């Protein structure tokens, strides 16, 4: 084994997967701490989806808010993942506000 191969093997030993990183930081899947993290991560993801769909529709937060009868600050909090939203609100935002179809899968 040459020096480069030895160095590459040492480097690979220090690499962790994303799942390993999450487990180390937030606990194993199924624990309360990890479940809380996963819920917050999904809320952030939903906010990013709404933000991207709004931008694709060339709408401002204020325009979207007006269309669904909400305040701009509410849309801002959703898009930044700072607030939980009810499913009815999610459907109203995406279907009524942005003209998208929402499908829900449970695994």
Beta strand ranges found along the chain (DSSP E)? none
Question: Which CATH number belongs to the domain containing residue 54 in this structure?
Answer: 1.10.260.40
Residue 12 within any structural domain of the chain: no
Torsion of CA 68, 72, 77, 81, to 10 degrees: 50
pLDDT of residue 12: 64
pLDDT score of 22 more than 90: no
Long-range contacts of 51-55 (CB under 8 A, 24+ apart): 51/79, 53/94, 53/98, 53/100, 54/79, 54/97, 54/98
pLDDT score of 52 more than 80: yes
Q: How many independent structural domains does the chain possess? A: 1
At 45, the pLDDT band (50, 70, 90 cuts) reads: very high
Residue 68 within any structural domain of the chain: yes
What is the mean pLDDT of the segment spanning 86-103? 94
Cβ neighbours around 72 below 10 Å, total:
14
């Amino acid at each position: 084994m040459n020096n480069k191969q030895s160095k590459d093997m040492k480097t690979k030993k220090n690499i962790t997967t994303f799942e390993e990183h999450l487990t180390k930081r937030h606990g194993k899947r199924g624990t309360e701490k990890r479940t809380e993290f996963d819920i917050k991560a999904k809320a952030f993801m939903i906010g990013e989806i709404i933000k991207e769909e709004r931008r694709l529709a060339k709408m401002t937060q204020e325009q979207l808010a007006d269309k669904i009868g909400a305040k701009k600050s509410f849309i801002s909090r959703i898009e930044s993942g700072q607030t939980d939203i009810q499913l009815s609100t999610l459907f109203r935002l995406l279907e009524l506000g942005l003209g998208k179809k929402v499908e829900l899968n449970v695994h």
